[in-house]
Structure 1
């Protein structure tokens, strides 16, 4: 064996993450709203890209007719090969009843129009006209609301202290920093800070600026002129109220059953989080990415095009730039822009095709849910869908991330339809965990206030319905849905009975 240096030639295969491949993977995981933002950035960088309007047949645009389209590769093939620099479109017409997204008028006869959701997303206008709420001014924040009142109640150095205190009040209306720390930080006397806080606690909403729940309720009781020694004793013993210890509360407050019922009713009317009615930002509504509707011959699945602009390659502009004098760097840059634009158009079209394919398979496997409700939701995994549509499991995972499906039963995240299996008690077909949760919630909602169901009783009742489930699983599902234990529910029912 020779120890001398030498050169060897080896041939190996490896997957290279090209920029185009990374772009295609990223597009799959984005929602329609996120894709819209991404496209705006790409159009700003690439002069050959532009959004399409109603001029689908314009001669200076990339040809997009059924005759000029090539049969596309599968989504996995597109991602794995990194190809897609050709100019043939990947769009396909699966029939106006099932899938079409080649015209701005699709919202009129498409699923979004059929479901009455044509105004969903950006740029859409429904049958009832534009959403006037979208033009409404955002709600004023709690801090701005308090500062406006402080401007008329305090002045000078006290206004500076008030502004600092208001800045330390959280979104629920509570002061989160000790007054001594604020006094030391500002270099003023503690009594002066307390006096300014007392002024803030007179502001609207009543109870704002409190440091504890008891103080918040006390401020509201004083405002309602209901803060007598009995109410003060009740507020000082909120732990007994939470436990439902009515007998001890009556002894401490020195009242009878009727007075205790009135006091608890009054206490329940107070707002424990007075600041939550304000907000500086409008809560954004969830926009569906896919529409599903029932048709005579089955189910129709369609992309929500109201939130997804159509992107075109401006070939006329490319031809104009190509005819001029160019150096080598400019010619290379223009070629790269064209290749990038062609790839983006194809990747977007393949993304829509893949989403439709995955959503259609979900509807096929969960048809019982769409027809009869959540009780008929079947256990389903990503692998089941991936095997059915001959794609990789990771592709299905990306497609179902951050995307929502709208149907006659409501708006659901695509991940909602993938649930674990619970074995049937009678040895039949396994059922979805969501179906078990729904049945559990229905049993607790219908329980007799005088006979609260324990977890063991719930297990027995669920087994009678065909759900083979352990007691610890019932407790886990109950806690996940925010439902208290039998002891907590018994106390809550007792308080509701007293205050009612």
Structure 2
């Protein structure tokens, strides 16, 4: 071993804070970007929101009472005044609120002809129902926690099971399905046996196995399966469970005007940020060095954010420009004219890395004449046709596969090999394995799983 000084030369990529922020913002969805900007506005006092047409907005603002005076209440006098108090009542009080699943269940309990003790126990049980509509407590736990008898706990749980939506308060999928069957007034033993032992066979369309096990006709087994498939595995479905719905906001609009397409970036996604002017005075004041240092740090952070948001916007715009060049026929004529297009192809035309394009399209949407679509869906692989040696988008092949399956005889569904042969007859050179891959990507079962007896 020896101590020595060695001089070496190497290349390394050192990512600055600005580069890291730019990459982070580029891959954010519009919703994530909104949340991030709101957080920065709260934490960075230097950042401010640039209001547009403030004077016009202030001028157009009307007080609530002025709005009410201009409304015609001739036919709705019972809405405008409370007859008991004589006070004016806001019509907005009559706007309905979203009722949660638990509120819906509690209302049903309050209407039951039961004593206060039983209703209180039922309300406690409802508070232990999760977002799926399943009860997270066993009867023994209810007995122990509430210090009640086994019979009383069982009675109250049965009351919960009698509520709507049917299947509520079950502990598992099997119990949930059984409750729904009982609510339908059916008591056929075979259905309960299938739910207990053969649910996975229904998923795999193995009705011949079920029929043999239960010594019934295959068609009868399939009818049982069809009935079970109509039941809800998640009783809370359709009810508000506390999670707000996130609506998709397109990052850009692509509009056709006079046979030319224009990309209009959606600037409403995030507030227009600016620097608060009052902090300039602090920087010019040398008396408080700590304050100046703090403001400079926050100022740099604010400028980085504004610049990174602008970079995100320009990168998405450039990607959309290249997509428009390649997919003009798609925007003109529809999905069947979508050409094969890869990240590498767009990246090379922009002289950037593939990862940049990947981040730019991640969870991003555009609004076109046919609705709002995910940018990523425009990127598809291609297949060489045997007739004219042209690339055909995998999406077109998938649509052909789906069309064939939709139109097939369900008693004799098409095999993957048969679908492969039919598509190759159209001049698209694909293999049986590719058909199986595309079918699975579309969530379509194999011919065995699609067969109807």
| Contact 1:374–1:438, Cα closer than 8 Å, also in 2 | no
What is the RMSD of the two structures over their aligned residues, measured on CA atoms? 4.0
Counterpart in the other structure of 2:361? 400
Matching of residue 299 in structure 1 with residue 261 in structure 2? yes
| Contact 2:286–2:292, Cα closer than 8 Å, also in 1 | no
In the alignment, is the contact (CA less than 8 A) between 1:139 and 1:282 conserved in 2?
no
- Does the 8 Å CA contact 1:162/1:196 hold for their aligned counterparts? yes
Q: 1:364-403 to 2 correspondence within 5 Å?
A: 364-403=325-364
Can you list the C-alpha shifts for 1:27-75, whole angstroms capped at 9, x where unaligned?
Answer: 211223322332233333443322112269x9xxxxxxxxxxxxxxxxx
Partner of 2:68: none
What is the DSSP-based 3-state SS (H/G/I as helix, E as strand, rest coil) of the residue aligned with 1:306? Answer: coil
Cα distance change on mapping 1:221 and 1:397 into 2, 3 Å: closer
Query: Taking CA–CA contacts closer than 8 Å with sequence separation of 6 or more, which of the two structures ends up with the larger relative contact order?
Result: 1
Tell me, yes or no, if the aligned pair for 1:176 and 1:211 is still in contact at 8 Å.
yes
Inter-partner Cα distance in structure 2 for 1:147 and 1:348: 47
Which is further off, 336-345 or 279-288?
336-345
Q: Secondary structure at the match of 2:423?
A: helix
Deviates more, 1:11-20 or 1:196-205: 11-20
Range 204-213 or range 440-449, more displaced: 204-213
Aligned equivalents of 1:396 and 1:262: distance in 2? 50
Q: Distance in 2 between matches of 1:22 and 1:170?
A: 39
Match in the other structure for 1:312: 274
Q: Pick one of 15, 18, 24 that aligns with 1:17.
A: 15
Q: TM-score, normalised by structure 1?
A: 0.68
Partners of 1:233 and 1:288 in 2: how far apart?
Answer: 50
Match of 1:65 in 2: none
What is the number of equivalent residue pairs in this alignment?
405
CA distance in 2: counterparts of 1:191 and 1:32, whole angstroms: 54
Is the alpha carbon distance of 1:179 and 1:429 closer, same or farther for their aligned partners in structure 2, counting shifts above 3 Å? farther
CA contact (8 A) 2:207 2:222 kept: no
Partner of 1:353: 314
Q: Where does residue 97 of structure 2 map in the other structure?
A: 137
Structure 2's unaligned 5+ residue stretches are: 58-91
1:42 to 40, 43, 46: 40
After TM superposition, the structure 1 = structure 2 runs for residues 91-490 of structure 1, keeping only pairs within 5 Å, are: 137-140=97-100, 142-150=101-109, 153=112, 162=122, 165-166=125-126, 169-175=129-135, 179=139, 190-211=150-171, 216=176, 219-224=179-184, 226-227=185-186, 231-237=188-194, 239=198, 243-244=206-207, 271=232, 273-280=234-241, 281-314=243-276, 316-324=277-285, 326-426=287-387, 428-490=389-451
Q: 1:346 to 1:216 in 2, by over 3 A?
A: closer
TM-score under structure 2 length normalisation: 0.74
Aligned to 2:70: none
The gaps in structure 1 that reach 5 residues or longer are 59-103, 105-131, 495-500
